[in-house]
């Protein structure tokens, strides 16, 4: 493989899920009260039947929610929901970072850089500052709060911290993703929104990346990040994202997402691998963001891989839903825990998100 000089090591990955876990059918009935309240234009019995259909077709069986399920019909607006994001985000963020550091034997004071990504709540000071003391980080830790990358930010965050560590090979960097998607649920009878309320769940995940000199000095092992690639697709700004208004975040989700993915991701991956003297058949494990069933089917078709190549991602979608940027990090965790690929073989992490865009991360197991 050519063109690869500076490497970074993924020393550990940890996920943190809220304690409130529910079967999909129970979430459907509760969210129907919020999404399609009595009197909403476009609501009514037919709309509720559609919502139930979309939720049942999502391939999601259970999801974790930031709040007890009975709290959602009581949320009074964006301020109430965002306050819950900050409160629960601190709890889950602290747990994810602490667990990830503990798993690879590093102390909070070893961390030189903390990047925090989210697209489901806002806070100033940002979450990284709010959990700083709770985790025990150094006063001089470099903080990089990132908002707006959406589902792509898990892979994108790994990529950008790898870029940083290429120039700081003695440093330790942590990526924290906190996504509490359920807190954006509101009255909206549009079909894309009904689909989305059946897919998205809540959770946080943290990844510890270590520069190659620091990893060698400490004897730290894990997947090696070899290279990254970013793609921003033209004229796709309204494919996915948020409209932000007086009632907070309102979802933008075009039905064309699977088509955009299938149109671009195959050639992007093939070109990226070719530039590193690799082909599709060389990849021993695909670490893909789940999106939803149609998106995953589009990824599978574009890559030309068999159904079981994305089995870990399908299981993650079924067990916890789509956690936006945290999802691909849970898939990475599950890949390493459940089906560790052969040592020395290449792997690929990929995710898509608002922009519309993709991030590719080449790994060596």
What does the DSSP 8-state code read for residue 340? P
Q: What is the pLDDT of residue 5?
A: 64
Q: What is the pLDDT of residue 243?
A: 83
- Spans of the chain below 50 pLDDT: 1-4
Q: What is the pLDDT of residue 2?
A: 45
Cβ atoms of residues 193 and 35 within 8 Å: yes
- Answer yes or no: 104 catalytic: no
Give pLDDT tens digits for 160-190: 999 999 999 999 999 999 999 999 998 888 8
Of 13, 344, 297, the residue nearest 176 (C-alpha): 13
Q: Please give the class, per CATH, of domain 223-364.
A: alpha beta
In sequence order, what are the beta bridge partners of 172? 210
What does the DSSP 8-state code read for residue 1? -
Phi-psi region of 120 (alpha: psi -120 to 50; beta: other; left: phi over 0): alpha
Tell me whether the CATH fold assigned to 9-218 matches the one assigned to 223-364: yes
So where are the chain's domains?
Answer: 9-218, 223-364
CATH node for 9-218: 3.40.47.10
Indicate which residue of 2, 21, 104, 151 is catalytic: 151
Query: What's the CA dihedral at 181, 187, 189, 195 to 10 degrees?
Result: 10
């Amino acid at each position: 493989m050519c063109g690869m000089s500076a490497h970074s090591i993924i020393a550990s990955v940890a996920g943190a899920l809220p304690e409130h876990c529910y079967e999909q059918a129970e979430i459907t009935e509760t969210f129907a009260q919020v999404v399609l309240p009595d009197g909403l234009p476009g609501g009514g019995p037919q709309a509720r039947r559609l919502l139930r259909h979309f939720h049942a077709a999502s391939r999601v069986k259970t999801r974790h929610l930031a709040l007890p399920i009975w709290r959602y019909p009581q949320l009074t607006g964006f301020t109430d929901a965002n306050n819950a994001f900050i409160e629960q985000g601190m709890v889950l963020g602290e747990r994810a970072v602490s667990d990830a550091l503990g798993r690879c034997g590093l102390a909070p004071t070893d961390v030189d850089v903390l990047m925090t990504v989210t697209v489901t709540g806002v806070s100033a000071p940002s979450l990284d500052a709010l959990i700083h003391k709770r985790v025990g980080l150094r006063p001089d830790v470099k903080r990089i709060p990132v908002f707006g990358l959406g589902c792509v930010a898990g892979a994108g965050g790994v990529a950008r911290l790898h870029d940083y560590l290429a120039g700081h090979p003695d440093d330790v960097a942590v990526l924290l993703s906190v996504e509490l998607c359920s807190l954006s649920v509101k009255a909206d009878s549009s079909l894309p929104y009904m689909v989305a309320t059946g897919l998205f769940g809540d959770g946080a995940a943290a990844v510890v990346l270590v520069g190659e000199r620091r990893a060698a000095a400490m004897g730290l092992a894990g997947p090696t990040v070899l290279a990254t690639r970013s793609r921003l697709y033209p004229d796709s700004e309204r494919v996915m994202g948020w409209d932000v208004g007086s009632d907070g975040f309102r979802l933008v989700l075009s039905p064309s997402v699977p088509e955009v993915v299938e149109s671009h991701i195959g050639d992007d991956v093939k070109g990226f691998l070719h530039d590193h003297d690799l082909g599709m058949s060389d990849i021993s494990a695909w670490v893909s963001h789940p999106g939803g069933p149609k998106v995953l089917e589009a990824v599978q078709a574009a890559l030309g891989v068999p159904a079981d190549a994305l089995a870990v991602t399908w299981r993650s979608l079924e067990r916890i839903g789509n956690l936006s940027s945290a999802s691909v990090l849970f898939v990475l965790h599950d890949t390493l825990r459940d089906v560790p690929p052969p040592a020395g073989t290449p792997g690929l992490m990929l995710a898509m998100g608002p922009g519309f865009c993709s991030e590719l991360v080449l790994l060596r197991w």
